[in-house]
A = this chain, B = another copy of it.
Amino acid sequence: MWLRLGDGTSRRDDRYGLGVVVGCDVADLPFVRACRGLPSERVPVWFMRQAGRSLPEYRALRGEGSMLDTIARPDVATEITLQPVRRYGVDAAILYSDIVVPTHAIGFGVDIVPGVGPVVEHPFREARDLARLRPLDPEADTPYVLETVRNLVAELQVPLIAFAGAPFTMASYLVEGGPSRTHALTKSLMYGDPVLWAALLERLADLAIASITSQLDAGASAFQLFDSWAGALAPHDYERFVLPASRRVFAEVADHRADAPGIHFGVGTGELLELLAQAGADVVGVDWRVHLDDARARLGPGVAVQGNLDPAAVLAPPPVVAERVADVLDRNAGRPGHIFNLGHGVLPETDPEVLAQVVEQVHGYRPIP
């Protein structure tokens, strides 16, 4: 079985055969076709946080310690990325990494605390903190990420999704010093010092661009920009204070690698869907709060959708899960340009067997040919 990869090379690998056609291009695979709004033989599916805490093989492999240390070990990060691909037969792999990796790598002082999330030792508070956000030199600062990507591209028969944190979500972590329910400090800075805010977002856009393009150069086939907390913003605030920086990320990545589709993701973004698309995304992530048919209506043609099963729905008994999966598929009504996913990351308490059933059900669904 031969696969031509994003970097133009071809290779043979039968380990994770998923029925890939001989000589096929990544661009012909269901995930990439769906990103482009093109029909394919099945609805592609992957899960945010498919690699991680819900998998016993992950917990056995990773042990204790900071997640950042695990991410810095390409052999382990490669294996963790492959685990869910192997187990579920999903249509895409997503690099085992974290959105804080670039800021950590340039020495901003951020760690990932189990049960808490990213924690910043000295939060971003004033103009002189900008100097702490120097440009990322991916080969020097995050060589382990690129090595993991190269390992994966040599192993995988499905596309690898690169990713980075979007400027707003990264700003929230850096300004708040950790996860926040209100984003009060972040919004205070945004409203109170729009010049400094814009400078901060530009730096964070630069980090995202450098990180994503380096992952694509190393062989990833698509990317996702995680603006997980954008849904905390009013649409006019998003448009004024955030959209310009995120738009630049999509534009510069597209200039660099036009063939790599970009997914724009956030939670609670029902009011922002059109703006998330306007940023330049090929695919907009939709969470469970908006039905896919409504999301389609708001987005119009030309934009694919990703989602949107409630991550808590897979905690239900199997017949209920099956009903919910069918509902998501039915709402999209088989239209091309749908990537099945959860509306947010896999919850730690999720039973992997249930996710395996979800994949089987999605793959058994016949979209409009």
Q: Which A residues form the contact surface with B (CB < 8 A)?
A: 182-184, 187-188, 191-192, 231, 233-237, 268, 270-271, 288-291, 294, 310-313, 315-317, 320, 324, 327, 347, 349
Q: A312 to B182, Cβ gap below 8 A?
A: yes
Give the top 9 A-B pairs by smallest Cβ distance, nearest first: A191-B316, A187-B312, A188-B315, A234-B288, A184-B312, A191-B320, A271-B289, A270-B270, A268-B268
The complex places the Cα of A166 from the Cα of B192 at a distance, in Å, of 35
Chain B residues within 8 Å of A270, by CB: 270-271, 289
Chain B residues within 8 Å of A316, by CB: 187-188, 191-192
Copies of this protein in the assembly total: 2
Q: A268 to B231, Cβ gap below 8 A?
A: yes
Q: B191 to A313, Cβ gap below 8 A?
A: yes
The complex places the Cα of A310 from the Cα of B270 at a distance, in Å, of 17
Q: Given A192-B316, A271-B290, A320-B192, is A182 in contact with B311 using a C-beta cutoff of 8 Å? A: yes
Chain B residues within 8 Å of A187, by CB: 310, 312-313, 315-316
The complex places the Cα of A316 from the Cα of B197 at a distance, in Å, of 13
Chain B residues within 8 Å of A184, by CB: 311-312, 315, 347, 349
Chain B residues within 8 Å of A192, by CB: 315-317, 320
Most chain B beta-carbon contacts within 10 A, residue among A183, A192, A315, A320: A315
Chain B residues within 8 Å of A347, by CB: 182, 184
List, sorted by A's number, 17 A–B pairs whose CB atoms are closer than 8 Å: A182-B311, A182-B347, A184-B315, A184-B347, A187-B310, A187-B315, A188-B316, A191-B312, A191-B313, A192-B315, A192-B316, A192-B320, A231-B289, A234-B291, A236-B291, A237-B310, A268-B289
The complex places the Cα of A268 from the Cα of B229 at a distance, in Å, of 12
Most chain B beta-carbon contacts within 10 A, residue among A182, A291, A312, A320: A312
Chain B residues within 8 Å of A324, by CB: 191
Please give the distance in Å from A72's CB to the nearest CB on chain B.
Answer: 27
Q: B310 to A234, Cβ gap below 8 A?
A: yes
Chain B residues within 8 Å of A235, by CB: 289, 291
8 other A-B residue contacts (CB within 8 Å) besides A236-B327, A268-B268, A271-B294: A183-B312, A191-B312, A191-B320, A192-B315, A231-B289, A235-B291, A237-B310, A270-B270
The complex places the Cα of A183 from the Cα of B268 at a distance, in Å, of 14
Please give the distance in Å from A317's CB to the nearest CB on chain B.
Answer: 5
The complex places the Cα of A88 from the Cα of B274 at a distance, in Å, of 39
Please give the distance in Å from A187's CB to the nearest CB on chain B.
Answer: 4
Q: B188 to A312, Cβ gap below 8 A?
A: yes
Chain B residues within 8 Å of A231, by CB: 268, 289
Chain B residues within 8 Å of A236, by CB: 291, 327
The complex places the Cα of A313 from the Cα of B190 at a distance, in Å, of 10
The one of B237, B268, B315, B327 in contact with A191, judged by C-beta atoms closer than 8 angstroms, is: B315
The complex places the Cα of A268 from the Cα of B269 at a distance, in Å, of 9
The complex places the Cα of A187 from the Cα of B192 at a distance, in Å, of 39
Please give the distance in Å from A217's CB to the nearest CB on chain B.
Answer: 35
Chain B residues within 8 Å of A237, by CB: 310
The complex places the Cα of A289 from the Cα of B347 at a distance, in Å, of 26
Chain B residues within 8 Å of A317, by CB: 191-192
Please give the distance in Å from A158's CB to the nearest CB on chain B.
Answer: 28
Please give the distance in Å from A236's CB to the nearest CB on chain B.
Answer: 8
Chain B residues within 8 Å of A327, by CB: 236
Please give the distance in Å from A278's CB to the nearest CB on chain B.
Answer: 17
